[in-house]
Amino acid sequence: MTGHGAGDAPLRVVVSVGTGPYPFDRLVRAVDAWAQDWGELHHRPVDLWVQHGHSEPPQRGQAVRTVVRGELVDRFLTADVLVTHGGAATVLDANAVGRRPVVVPRRRHLREHEDDHQLTSGLALADQGHVWLAPTVPEIAIQLSRMAADPATGVVPPRQHGTRAAALRLEHELDRITGTSRPAGTTLRRFAALTRRRDEHRGPRPSAPRHAR
Q: Give the per-residue pLDDT at 179.
A: 56
> What is the distance between the alpha carbons of residues 73 and 161, in angstroms, rounded to a whole number?
17
Instruction: Choose between 196 and 9: higher pLDDT.
Output: 9
> What is the distance between the alpha carbons of residues 113 and 106, in angstroms, rounded to a whole number?
6
As a whole number of Å, the CA-based R_g of the chain is 20
Q: Give the per-residue pLDDT at 93.
A: 93
Q: Note the pTM of the prediction, 2 decimals.
A: 0.74
**Confidence class of residue 8 from pLDDT cuts 50, 70 and 90?**
confident
pLDDT in tens, 137-186: 999 999 999 999 999 999 999 986 555 555 555 555 555 555 555 554 55
Give the chain's length.
Answer: 213
> What is the distance between the alpha carbons of residues 41 and 142, in angstroms, rounded to a whole number?
14
Q: Give the per-residue pLDDT at 170.
A: 53
> What is the distance between the alpha carbons of residues 210 and 110, in angstroms, rounded to a whole number?
62
Q: Is 74 exposed, middle or buried (0-12, 13-18, 19+ CB in 10 A)?
A: middle
Which of 107, 98, 96, 113 minimizes the C-alpha distance to 140?
A: 107
pLDDT in tens, 19-66: 999 999 999 999 999 999 999 999 999 999 999 999 999 999 999 999
> What is the distance between the alpha carbons of residues 106 and 176, in angstroms, rounded to a whole number?
28
> What is the distance between the alpha carbons of residues 154 and 17, in angstroms, rounded to a whole number?
18
Which helix (H) or strand (E) segment holds residue 158: the answer is none
pLDDT in tens, 112-126: 999 999 999 999 999
Question: What average pLDDT does the segment 75-102 reach?
Answer: 95
Side-chain half-sphere exposure of 85, counting CA atoms within 13 A: 28
> What is the distance between the alpha carbons of residues 57 and 59, in angstroms, rounded to a whole number?
7
Which of 123, 90, 84, 78 minimizes the C-alpha distance to 104?
A: 84
**Confidence class of residue 86 from pLDDT cuts 50, 70 and 90?**
very high
Q: Is the pLDDT of residue 209 over 90?
A: no
Q: Give the per-residue pLDDT at 159.
A: 82
> What is the distance between the alpha carbons of residues 91 and 205, in angstroms, rounded to a whole number?
38
Identity at 30, one-letter amino acid code: A
Cα separation values, 186 from 11, 49, 72, 92, 183, Å = 34, 26, 17, 14, 6
